[in-house]
Structure 1
Amino acid sequence: MTVPITELRIENAAWASARPRLSVLIPTFRDDPGALLKALDDPSASAEIVVLDDGGSDDMLAERIARRIQALRVPARFVRLSSNEGRAKGRNRLASHARGGHFLFLDSDMLPDTPDFLSRWAAVAETNAPVAFGGFTLDQTPQRPETALHRAMALKSDCTPAPERAREPEKHVFTSNLLVRRDVFETIGFDEGFAGWGWEDVEWAMRVVRQHPILHIDNSATHLGLDAAPTMAAKYEQSAANFARVVASHRDIVSAYPSYKVAKALKPFPLRGVWRPMLKRIALAEAVPVSLRAFAMRLYRASLYIEAV
């Protein structure tokens, strides 16, 4: 018998009487969003903040988050789950706590790049935009040897200006800095069939773009939480089943993506059990030049997707 997931709620003094126009929604799993909460504490933006601890089971961290929530000037609620629900279902739950007309999804390891970050998002919400993505950078991310590979790959493919993202609007949508109008999300939520890491946000955007325009703007936040190479590889391994789910529903869109095309090109090659692990070893080898490691990691990721194409 499955034990139901329960939630504990804590609000600050400003929560009960607030009538926010913008709801900032922050999921966290064993990460401390303290720096982000401090940066978002702007009462002039007519916003509220909801933080979801998605079953992280860290009592000391939960206590710190609860204290920070209660100290904020902005209306804020902390929701703590008894067990992990996952990226898609957890964000859907977050949205159920929101009271604003627009939702701003932010990952807990993000940090705004400008002091007026929240007020700029509030201004976009005032235009009634259905969906908008603000982009992300590594401008404030410390440079460390163990995360050099992730940095190189993110700078090449993810940290892109708005005009470039707008060419493929659904592809460059991540829940790390995403504004969604309430009625859009109420009709198109995240697919809870996704498990583990990867693709649930892009797949959501694929469904959205068939009905609504996706606006890309430059209102970026820094991604502080770069991963070491072994963690990256593990996430890509998790993502294979999610990629297959995307292909099953949106082959017309995803077949134009490089990850699909490379997987298709690799599919005829024999001895996959030999060369796939070799690609992983090269990607994880810190003595190898980062450019070669990044190339090997991209090929390794594509090789994991072969069965789906």
Structure 2
Amino acid sequence: MSRARMTDSPAWASATPRLSVLIPFLRDDPTDLLNRLEAEAPDLNGQVEIVLLDDGTGDAKLTAALEQRVTTLRLPARLITLTANEGRSRGRNRLASAARGNSWLFLDSDMRPDRSDFLAAWLALIQREDPAVAFGGFSLMQAPTDARYAVHRSIALKSECLSVEAREQAPEKYVYTSNLLVRRDVFAAEAFDPAFSGWGWEDVEWAMRVARNHAVRHVDIPATHMGLDTTASLMAKYEQSADNFARVIARHPTVVATYPSYRAARLIRRLPARGALRSVVRSTVLQDWLPAGARAFALRLYRAALYAEAV
């Protein structure tokens, strides 16, 4: 494991939190998110702590600024700074090992709460139901509307920014570690698999394991995903995710078989010229003059063509 440096807020040592908010980041500045959460401090009575993990950013200026900010917080908070990157699964597992609450909220650093009582709403849910797992939902309410993000925006609105009712149709599928509540005993039994590398599917695979023994709740406590990608960046992430998709298929074939992405990949797998198809749709995605919806459809087809090699 990488060497870690700890920086604590004044309230950290004496706090006995009920909820731990776990925020990993790599080369992002989580200060804006931290400030928004800190605004709720007077109403939380020390029941919520923040644990941040810098997963090997290596930016001395950012580290110094964050350490200074943490030491001024009213919320109980700890900043863990790593000297080298450990990856998405190992990083989140390390965050979990530092958490002291009985419930943990995994919150990505590029998320922004969509309500001023965001932490209070999560705390109220814990006090009312103490759920094993709950996902609060995505939105793009505060996200940038630049043209370069139009394709990602189109895909996210169609497949990720869904209502509670829509997510409940496949509870384990619509679980992302960007706004995810997990009870301590559940995570102790099922941690994130460190064998996943690159981008994608480690959170959904985790939810598939958890769903065997626990209800996966979906609630309306949304946060905006600010980190929209350019089309080229999103394509690169899909290209990284094919091996992870194969790993999920091997472990949960019955569940994955119900997913449209799997069915599309199986159809493409039968095509004699699937390599040519992949090249054509990739080129289509990159045509800026096409409508965003058409490019988003082509990008989903490109992902299915990539996944065809894994099914």
TM-score over 0.5 for the pair: yes
- Structure-to-structure mapping, 1:236-255, within 5 angstroms: 236-255=238-257
* Structure 1 residue 308: Cα displacement: 2.0
* Structure 1 residue 26: Cα displacement: 0.1
Match of 1:65 in 2: 66
Is 2:236 the partner of 1:234?
A: yes
* Structure 1 residue 272: Cα displacement: 2.4
Instruction: Single out whichever of 57-66 and 112-121 deviates more from structure 2.
Output: 57-66
Partners of 2:111 and 2:223 within 8 A in 1: yes
- Counterparts of 1:65 and 1:168 in 2: how far apart (Å)? 38
Q: Name stretches of at least 5 consecutive residues in structure 2 with no aligned partner.
A: none
Is 2:49 the partner of 1:48?
A: yes
- Counterparts of 1:164 and 1:217 in 2: how far apart (Å)? 11
- Counterparts of 2:276 and 2:168 in 1: how far apart (Å)? 39
| Partner SS, residue 307 of structure 1 | coil
Instruction: Single out whichever of 271-280 and 212-221 deviates more from structure 2.
Output: 271-280
| Partner SS, residue 243 of structure 2 | helix
Match of 1:99 in 2: 100
The amino acid that maps onto 1:240 is: A
* Structure 1 residue 50: Cα displacement: 0.4
Partners of 2:20 and 2:50 within 8 A in 1: yes
* Structure 1 residue 5: Cα displacement: 1.2
- Structure-to-structure mapping, 1:21-32, within 5 angstroms: 21-32=18-29
Match of 1:170 in 2: 172
Match of 2:207 in 1: 205
| Partner SS, residue 308 of structure 1 | coil
- Structure-to-structure mapping, 1:1-309, within 5 angstroms: 4-41=1-38, 42-43=40-41, 44-45=43-44, 46-126=47-127, 127-309=129-311
The amino acid that maps onto 2:124 is: A
* Structure 1 residue 273: Cα displacement: 2.5
- Counterparts of 2:274 and 2:254 in 1: how far apart (Å)? 27
TM-score by length of 2: 0.97
Equivalences, count: 306
Partners of 2:149 and 2:231 within 8 A in 1: yes
Instruction: Single out whichever of 36-45 and 130-139 deviates more from structure 2.
Output: 36-45
Partners of 2:268 and 2:274 within 8 A in 1: no
| Partner SS, residue 179 of structure 1 | strand
- Counterparts of 2:148 and 2:132 in 1: how far apart (Å)? 39
Residue deviations 1:4-58, cap 9 Å, x none? 4111111011100000000000000001111111111122331000000001111
Instruction: Single out whichever of 274-283 and 211-220 deviates more from structure 2.
Output: 274-283
Q: CA RMSD in A?
A: 0.9
- Counterparts of 1:123 and 1:23 in 2: how far apart (Å)? 14
| Partner SS, residue 52 of structure 1 | strand
* Structure 1 residue 176: Cα displacement: 0.4
The amino acid that maps onto 1:296 is: A
| Partner SS, residue 112 of structure 2 | strand
- Counterparts of 1:117 and 1:304 in 2: how far apart (Å)? 38
| Partner SS, residue 8 of structure 1 | strand
* Structure 1 residue 307: Cα displacement: 2.2
Instruction: Single out whichever of 51-60 and 197-206 deviates more from structure 2.
Output: 51-60
| Partner SS, residue 229 of structure 2 | coil
The amino acid that maps onto 2:12 is: W
Percent identical pairs in the alignment equals 53
